[in-house]
Amino acid sequence: MNRLNTAGRCVFLAVIAVVLTTLGTACSRTPTGSVDDLFISNKRFNIDTDEDGGGGIVRVYARVENTGEGVVREAKMEVVLRNSEGTKRGTNNITLENIQPGEKREFSVAVTSHSEAAEVEIIPREAEK
Residues 19 and 82 reside in one and the same domain: no
User: Which of residues 63 and 1 earns the better pLDDT score?
Assistant: 63
Residues 49 and 97 reside in one and the same domain: yes
Range 14-20 average pLDDT: 61
Residues 1 and 40 reside in one and the same domain: no
The pLDDT tens digits of the residues spanning 19-40 come to 555 555 455 455 789 999 999 9
Domains in the chain: how many in total?
2
Residues 108 and 51 reside in one and the same domain: yes
Residues 106 and 89 reside in one and the same domain: yes
Distances, alpha carbon 82 to alpha carbons 85, 92, 96, 116, 123, in Å: 8, 12, 23, 8, 13
Judged by phi (left if over 0) then psi (alpha if -120 to 50, else beta), residue 75 lies in: beta
Residues 63 and 16 reside in one and the same domain: no
Residues 90 and 120 reside in one and the same domain: yes
Residue 11's pLDDT is 65
Its domain, for residue 15, covers 1-30
Residues, the chain, total? 129
User: Which of residues 84 and 12 earns the better pLDDT score?
Assistant: 84
Q: Which pTM value belongs to this model?
A: 0.71
Residues 45 and 19 reside in one and the same domain: no
The pLDDT tens digits of the residues spanning 65-116 come to 999 999 999 999 999 999 999 999 999 999 999 999 999 999 999 999 888 8
Q: What is the CATH number of the domain that holds 88?
A: 2.60.40.10
Residues 17 and 62 reside in one and the same domain: no
Residues 8 and 23 reside in one and the same domain: yes
pLDDT, mean over the chain: 84
The pLDDT tens digits of the residues spanning 92-105 come to 999 999 999 999 99
Q: What is the chain's alpha carbon radius of gyration, rounded to the nearest angstrom?
A: 25
Residues 13 and 63 reside in one and the same domain: no
**What is the C-alpha to C-alpha distance for residues 119 and 86, in angstroms, rounded to an integer?**
8
Residue 4: which pLDDT band, with cuts at 50, 70 and 90?
A: low
Residue 116's pLDDT is 81
